[in-house]
Amino acid sequence: MSAEVYAIASGKGGTGKTTVSINLGVSLAGLGTRVIVIDADIAMPNVGLLLGEDKINKTYHDYIAGHSSIEEIIYEGPGGLKFIPGSLTLDNIAEIDTTRVVELIDYLKHRFDFILIDTAPGISRETAVVLESADNTFLVVNPEISSVVDSLKIKVYVEMKERSIKGIILNRTNIYQIHSPSEIDESEDEIPDEDIKNILESSIYGRVPEDRIIKKASFQRVPAVLLEPSANASVFFKSIASKIAGYEYDFEYQQKVSDKSSLLKKIISLFSIRKNKNENKN
């Protein structure tokens, strides 16, 4: 068994790469898979911060610099997730050693089902290494023309290196339909899906609504899908994770769950992802 390795990338910062990485990570772990999120963003490493980890000693960057072993940089996150934090100081940022990144991914591939790598925006040397090492890349894009165009260079780079774009994760959208993600109304406020697909020549793999739960979750340092499993954004994160893992997600069931009391809501929603055939897996 070898893990599926996904880079989570975007052309510019602030599109939601870290939010997507940790929420998909926890959702995939909730499905019973072995998942690790790696924080490969040197400039803004905040995976550890958002997962509520206060005792970070060795990091991804210490490992890259040859200052620590792989075992030392793996941490237990919430909801069964494992993670490798990035370094908050600049002291140990050495020249990126490509071989060490490749060795790290090889090691993890044998121990996990999914490896999600949160990257720095754009194509710096550190991100390039990740894009080359991952089999697939998700482009995290906001529904604005600049965000879409900025991600084009990532897509071109990934394909130049003969890797694949798994698809676009359209984050912070106001156009979504909770009952069925396929019934989406076009609106004049957001760039149409067709334009996004045409510019990036990639499909929209999933969409995540603009939701205040994300701010609350980052303040409380708990991933949104755990803090409020039935919040809009959480529901969509879980549906994307289900698609990645090859499960079918019951949107209507989730909607009914949101009318129930909070504790019950949490319990039901944790178990409402129903296993189905692997036909969705692409």
Interface with ligand ADP by CB under 6 A: which residues?
10, 13-19, 171-172, 208, 210-211, 214-215, 218, 233
Q: CB 89: neighbour CB atoms within 10 A?
A: 9
Please identify which residue in the block is written with the tokens 């720095």.
120
d(CA 201, CA 69): 40
The answer to whether 38 and 115 have CB atoms below 8 angstroms apart is yes
Nearer to Mg ion, 29 or 42 (CB): 42
Nearer to Mg ion, 218 or 230 (CB): 218
CB of 119 to ligand ADP, least distance (A): 9
Contacts of 255 (CB under 8 A, 6+ apart): 178, 179
CB of 21 to Mg ion, least distance (A): 8
CB of 216 to ligand ADP, least distance (A): 9
Closest CA to 34 of 86, 108, 106: 108
Nearer to ligand ADP, 19 or 113 (CB): 19
Beta-strand pair 248-249/82-84: unpaired
Q: Which does 232 bind (CB under 5 to 8 A by kind): Mg ion, ligand ADP, none?
A: none
Q: Which does 52 bind (CB under 5 to 8 A by kind): Mg ion, ligand ADP, none?
A: none
d(CA 80, CA 34): 8
Q: Which residue's beta carbon is nearest to the bound Mg ion?
A: 18
CB of 79 to ligand ADP, least distance (A): 18
Per 3-state DSSP, what percentage of the chain is helix, strand, and coil (rounded to 5)?
Answer: 45, 15, 40
3-class secondary structure per residue, 223-269: CHHHHCCCCHHHHHHHHHHHHHHCCEECHHHHHHHCCCCHHHHHHHH
CB of 222 to ligand ADP, least distance (A): 13
Nearer to ligand ADP, 33 or 218 (CB): 218
Q: Which tokens go with 236?
A: 């969509």
Q: Which does 210 bind (CB under 5 to 8 A by kind): Mg ion, ligand ADP, none?
A: ligand ADP
Binding mask 16-55 for Mg ion (x = CB under 5 A): -xx-------------------------------------
Nearer to ligand ADP, 87 or 218 (CB): 218
Closest CA to 64 of 40, 48, 83, 43: 40
Q: Which does 154 bind (CB under 5 to 8 A by kind): Mg ion, ligand ADP, none?
A: none
Nearer to Mg ion, 17 or 155 (CB): 17
Helix (H), strand (E) at residue 35: strand 35-40
CB of 149 to Mg ion, least distance (A): 20
Residues in contact with Mg ion by CB under 5 A are 17-18
